[in-house]
Structure 1
Amino acid sequence: MEHKIIVVGIGPGHPDYLIPRAAAAIREASYLVGSQRALDTFAGPDATLRRIDGDLDSLFTDIATALKNSDVVVMVSGDPGFYSLQPALKARFGAEYELKVIPGLSSIQIAFAHHGLVWQDAELLSVHGRELALEKWQYRSGRKVAFLTDATMHAAAIAEHLLAMQWPTDAEVFLGRNLSYEHEEKKCCILQEATKMEGWQHCVMIVIG
């Protein structure tokens, strides 16, 4: 088909962390899809805007209609290749349309950088709206795990799960939230202390055993 879907990683959300190629794709978009915050932050005055909500069937119907007339640019948080809308878009449109992907910085990358940690030896997991298999919680000496959290599986809940799986109480914990924004926060503690922490939802949690 003539038109394509361009999946753009917008990084943690602040324009300073948007790569130039992604910025150009968003700037040139005729039909732009994204969360309300992404649209408020990045959308230009001339694009037709479609907010991502919980109704994917309706969203995909609107995208299919838009593709008849133009390319569609879909903004996703972080990097498209890491727990984003990209797989669903590929499953729905991949047989008919080209999917072009422009990478972005994930919040996990930003969290490791803010704490001065390397992540080449880390396991990257998400409990944002999903359950992990039991073995994913297992303790192993020296294991380094980064979690994307949500309102239910927040930092304190994850700490409780890990302690129940025999992680040491003094395992190192590094937290980051609102990354890239003026009100971003980071914190270091041990695993036992993390069980008492309130408010650390939708954050990045790094645990080193």
Structure 2
Amino acid sequence: METASVKEHKIRVIGIGPGSPDYLLPAAAKAIESAKVLVGGRRALGQYARPDVSQHTFPITNDIPAVMDFIKHELAVSDVGVLVSGDPGYYSLLDALRREYPAEQIEVIPGLSSMQLAFARLALPWHGACFLSFHGRRPEQEELCYRPGRILGMLTDGKYNSRSIAEILMEAGWPGETRLSVLLRLSYPDEEIITTTLSEASKMAEKSHGILIIQG
């Protein structure tokens, strides 16, 4: 029997939300349950993969070429589900997949992003806000400029954290008394929300791998 063409099979990029299963959309749960092949971070696979139905899984690590090779190999015989945290459209593996595959071969199931949940926790509307990422990158200087009333939502990492970003923003002209909210481990039982100012954050113990929301 002739092997199916790669293009006959789909990549389903499944947004699994900020972490807690309480925030997993029903459409995502159905896609995960029906998938024969699942790719995702180790925590996501541990939480959602179903070894009882012999799902073939592959962990996403820093070796992205290996992940892409696995997906390409599996697409020859099956659809592939790719689990991404938050929403696939917000700093996820979707970018890399779009560079390798045509859009019509990719189906995206949206999820609730950590940024959405962060704004919800603060009861803060997010239309008009500017979204940046310090996770593995640094925004351009013009993206960091201060304007009265400006709202920034930012992803952070170990290097760019609550302390270092507060210092960067004050150097870019933001007043020290600007309101800063630090939101960590959102949706988990130990989630933490700290509201302070840029000036105070620059002196506090650093908080990393979360969300910062700045209200100018």
Q: TM-score, normalised by structure 2?
A: 0.93
Which residue of the partner structure matches residue 10 of structure 2? Answer: 4
- Unaligned 5+ segments in structure 1 are none
- Equivalent runs, 1:76-87 vs 2, <5 Å: 76-87=84-95
1:199 Cα deviation (Å)? 4.1
Q: Over the residues paired in the alignment, what is the CA RMSD in angstroms?
A: 1.1
Matched, 1:17 2:23: yes
Matched, 1:187 2:204: no
Bigger shift: residues 123-132 or 192-201? 192-201
Of 29, 32, 43 in structure 1, the residue corresponding to residue 35 of structure 2 is 29
Structure 1 residue ranges, 4+ long, deviating more than 4 angstroms after superposition: none
Once residues 32 and 162 of structure 2 are traced to their aligned partners in structure 1, the CA distance between those partners, rounded to angstroms, is: 33
Verify the 8 A CA contact 1:111 1:175 in the aligned structure 2.
no
Matched, 1:56 2:97: no
Which residue of the partner structure matches residue 74 of structure 2? Answer: 66
Of 125, 142, 152 in structure 2, the residue corresponding to residue 118 of structure 1 is 125
Of 137, 141, 152 in structure 1, the residue corresponding to residue 148 of structure 2 is 141
Once residues 38 and 187 of structure 2 are traced to their aligned partners in structure 1, the CA distance between those partners, rounded to angstroms, is: 23
Q: Deviations over 1:175-204 (max 9, x none)?
A: 111000011111111111111232410110
State the identity %.
45
Residue type of the alignment partner of 2:89 = G
Residue type of the alignment partner of 2:204 = M
Bigger shift: residues 186-195 or 196-205? 196-205
Once residues 80 and 15 of structure 2 are traced to their aligned partners in structure 1, the CA distance between those partners, rounded to angstroms, is: 14
Q: TM-score, normalised by structure 1?
A: 0.96
**How many residues are treated as equivalent by the alignment?**
208
- Unaligned 5+ segments in structure 2 are 1-6
Residue type of the alignment partner of 1:16 = D
Indicate the SS of the match to 2:8: coil
Which residue of the partner structure matches residue 4 of structure 2? Answer: none
Verify the 8 A CA contact 1:123 1:144 in the aligned structure 2.
yes
